Amino acid sequence: MRRNRRTDWSRRLVRETTLTVDDLIWPIFVRDGDEVEQVASMPGVSRLPVARAAEAAAEAAALGIPAIALFPFTDPGLRDEGGTEAFNPNNLVCQAVRAIRAAAPDIGIITDVALDPYTSHGHDGVMHGNEIVNDATVERLVEQALVQAAAGADIIAPSDMMDGRVGAIRPALDANGFGHVQIMSYAAKYASAFYGPFRDAVGSNKTLRGDKRTYQMDPGNTDEALREAEIDISEGADMVMVKPGLPYLDIVWRLKQTFGMPTFAYQVSGEYAMIRGAADRGWIDGERAMFESLQAFKRAGADGVLTYFAVDVARRLRAG
């Protein structure tokens, strides 16, 4: 067995799984104003003003990254119980979509459909008492998706985990002239401890009341992920996603093997922060850990990965 491992050229020749720039989606946080703002819990990640986000997307396109995903840090004064800023056609996400489309016309733009960046309670949907109500939330998610599609989003990515939202969004897009817009469903999104830095980045950590276990998946379940994905695919999802990533590679594998659909994973903020934090302290080789972690997604069957390492990886791949 060691003969094939003896030299670099031989290892490359027999390698089963290869990571390329085509596997990368870069999440970008946008904010109001003109200042770049570091996310304290995510070293190397910043909230970007719209103009800088457009420049960043242009850089990503120049590196060959196929798509970026947008997430807003909404001014606390614009958050309310119903998340109504989500339906504003001139909200941060819509502004960023238009600016990025002008700066980088050939890059794919993915927009998140969920209310948590816009609600005063930090949940992904409409809250009645202590309950996140499903059908009323779905109605608002449809409205949010249409606003984003009108702004120029290429892929609508519902991350809310409400039942039936793909089945409501798909016909609404089709009926309003957006039949070309794809849906990347967060089909298996778990109630995870790995989201903390992301919630810092979008500002929902301070506002969240309680937790999200009544609508996000229980980390102990796998068969449930298959049922979730099957429903979303039957309702019109073009792609499915597993979130978080590394702790749920078995779910990536099962979804890909069962459905053969384009399957993605999100290397979430907590995963990124652990690798980057350990690397910054000299505890691990950060570059090797970055590549090894992303290769694990490909080995598990993912067609692509949302990762905050995307630009770093693309630069290193270009450099050979």
Catalytic site residue from 206, 212, 243, 256: 243
Centre a 10 Å sphere on the Cβ of residue 42 and count the other Cβ atoms it contains.
22
With helix as H, strand as E and coil as C, how does the chain read? Answer: CHHHHCCHHHHHHHCCCCCCHHHEEEEEEEECCCCCEECCCCCCCEEEEHHHHHHHHHHHHHCCCCEEEEEEECCHHHCECCCHHHHCCCCHHHHHHHHHHHHCCCCEEEEEECCCCCECCCCCCEEECCEEEHHHHHHHHHHHHHHHHHHCCCEEEECCCCCCHHHHHHHHHHHCCCCCCEEEEEEEEECCHHHHHHHHHHCCCCCCCCCCCCCCECCCCCHHHHHHHHHHHHCCCCEEEEECCHHHHHHHHHHHHHHCCCEEEEECHHHHHHHHHHHHCCCCCHHHHHHHHHHHHHHHCCCEEEECCHHHHHHHHHHC
243 is catalytic: yes
Pairing of strands 126-128, 131-133: antiparallel
Q: What is the C-alpha separation between 294 and 25, in angstroms, rounded?
A: 12
> Rounded to the nearest 5 degrees, what angle is found at the Cα of 219, between the Cα atoms of 216 and 224?
70
Query: Which residues are known catalytic residues?
Result: 189, 243
